[in-house]
Copies of this chain bind each other. A is one copy, B any other.
C-alpha cells in the first residue's frame, strides 16, 4: 500500500473523512467487482442535483473481462490503458447536452450539463471511497473510439473515463508513475474561496 507512506492530508475545517482521504491511484489489483457494488456507485451519482432536474448524466461500464472490456480499454490512450487495465471496471461518464425545457417542444442546449454531470461524478467517487474502492478519472481517451464503444451519438459529450477498483501494489507501476503514486495536494483554501470578489 502506497498511501501509508504519504503525509496525511490536513484541513483547517472538519469535513467528511472520505472526502479528505479519497484520492486517485494508478495501481489497481486486477480483482473483479460485483455488479451490485458498481450499481451502488451509480445509485449515489443519480441523486445529484441538476438544473431543471435534467439529470444529464449517463454511465456506460464494462466489468473486467466481460464482452465489453477490451473495447473499453481500447478507447483509452495507451499511457492510461497501461495502468487502467488493472482496474475492476471501466466507466465512461457522459452528459446529455440537450434539454427540452418546460413549455417547449424542441430541445435546446443544456448549458449546465457538464457541470451537473460533474456533481454526479463527485458523489460517485465519494461513494466509492466509502466502500473502500478507489476511482481515477481520465481525460486521456479517444473520444471517437469512446463514442463507438458506448454507442453515444452527438447528443452526448463524453466527459471522462473512470477506472474503479481496489488499490494495488505501487511497486508494480513503471518508475514514472510510481514516483507520483500518492494523494495530490490542493491549492490553499484562501486561493479557492473568496469573500466577495475573486482575489
A: residues with CB less than 8 A from B are 9, 11-16, 19-20, 22-24, 35-36, 39-40, 42-49, 51-53, 55, 57-63, 66-68, 93-95, 111-112, 114-123, 125-127, 130, 136-137, 139, 149-152, 156, 159-160, 184-187, 189, 192-198
Contact = CB atoms under 8 A, between A and B. Distances in A.
Contacts of A44: 15-16, 19
B139 A187 contact: no
Contacts of A127: 15-16, 19
* Copies of this polypeptide in the complex: 2
Contacts of A15: 40, 43-44, 47, 127
Given A151-B198, A198-B94, A198-B152, A193 B42 contact: yes
A197 B139 contact: no
A42 B195 CA distance: 12
A43 B189 contact: yes
Nearest to A137: B49
Contacts of A20: 47
Contacts of A125: 49, 119
